[in-house]
């Protein structure tokens, strides 16, 4: 699906105090938490879209710092605006946004800097020749391996069964361990405190089953 470009989004993201661009983030490697007022445990959502999930996570867990990664400025602009709308009542000071390509994350985050990574409804890249672009491919798992703490975990949700099965095969052939797996996550007791993304609400509302896995080393 083609993204609609919003005029002025580039300047908006550059000027937004909630955001940091890829080049500045790379220059801050090892000090990325300086963008927060307080240093805390760090959790990252890669490909956060308009940010509903990570906003609600930050509100629910004020003792954790969250960074939402989104490469598309038009989408990120909407995420910032929605965060600001919520802040009419209370500042969400433990949430920041990173405008960057996920392939650059190992150049931005120090080894072992992240406690958890969320991958929610990532682009499935269905053609075989694009498999390396999938955020659960061996290429990206190697990046996550470098930036996660030794006991860090990855949580992955999707409604795309093909992508989920591909991801399971990748995990089976890797050093990663499958800690939780469900092809119908919303029917599991583990979903009782689940925070949904915009896509999750849409797809679940259409009757699609949601798949989820949690992996660690």
Extract the annotated binding site for S-adenosyl-L-methionine.
Answer: 45, 70, 101, 123
- Tell me the binding residues for substrate: 127, 159, 197-200
Q: Hey, what are 111's tokens? A: 């080894």
By CB atoms closer than 10 A (0-12, 13-18, 19+), residue 211 is buried
Concerning whether 123 is annotated as a catalytic residue, the answer is yes
Euclidean distance between CA atoms 177 and 39, whole angstroms: 29
Euclidean distance between CA atoms 182 and 38, whole angstroms: 36
Which of 123, 128, 132, 145 is flagged as catalytic?
123
Euclidean distance between CA atoms 65 and 25, whole angstroms: 16
By three-state DSSP, how is residue 199 classified? helix
- Count of Cβ atoms closer than 10 Å to residue 96 Cβ: 22
Euclidean distance between CA atoms 164 and 170, whole angstroms: 10
Task: Give the angle 71-202-181 at the CA atoms, nearest 5°.
Answer: 80
Would the CA dihedral through 185, 200, 175, 147 be positive or negative? negative
- Tell me the binding residues: 45, 70, 101, 123, 127, 159, 197-200
Euclidean distance between CA atoms 100 and 150, whole angstroms: 24
Are the beta carbons of 69 and 102 closer than 8 angstroms?
yes
Q: Which residues are catalytically annotated?
A: 123
């Amino acid at each position: 699906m083609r993204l609609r470009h919003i005029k002025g989004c580039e300047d908006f993201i550059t000027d937004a105090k909630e955001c940091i661009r890829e080049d500045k983030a790379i220059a801050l490697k090892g000090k990325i938490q300086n963008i927060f007022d307080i240093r805390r445990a760090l959790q990252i959502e890669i490909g956060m879209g308009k940010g509903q999930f990570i906003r609600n996570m930050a509100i629910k867990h004020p003792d954790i710092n969250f960074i939402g990664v989104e490469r598309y400025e038009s989408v990120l602009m909407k995420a910032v605006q929605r965060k600001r709308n919520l802040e009419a009542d209370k500042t969400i000071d433990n949430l920041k946004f990173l405008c960057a390509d996920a392939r650059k994350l190992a150049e931005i985050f120090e080894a072992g800097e992240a406690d958890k990574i969320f991958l929610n409804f990532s682009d499935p890249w269905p053609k075989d020749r694009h498999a390396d672009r999938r955020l659960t491919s061996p290429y990206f798992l190697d990046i996550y391996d470098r930036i996660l703490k030794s006991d860090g975990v990855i949580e992955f949700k999707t409604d795309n069964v093909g992508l989920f099965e591909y991801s399971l095969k990748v995990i089976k052939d890797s050093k990663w361990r499958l800690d939780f797996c469900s092809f119908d996550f919303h029917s599991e007791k583990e979903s009782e405190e689940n925070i949904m993304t915009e896509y999750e609400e849409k797809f679940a509302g259409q009757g699609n089953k949601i798949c989820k896995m949690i992996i660690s080393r």
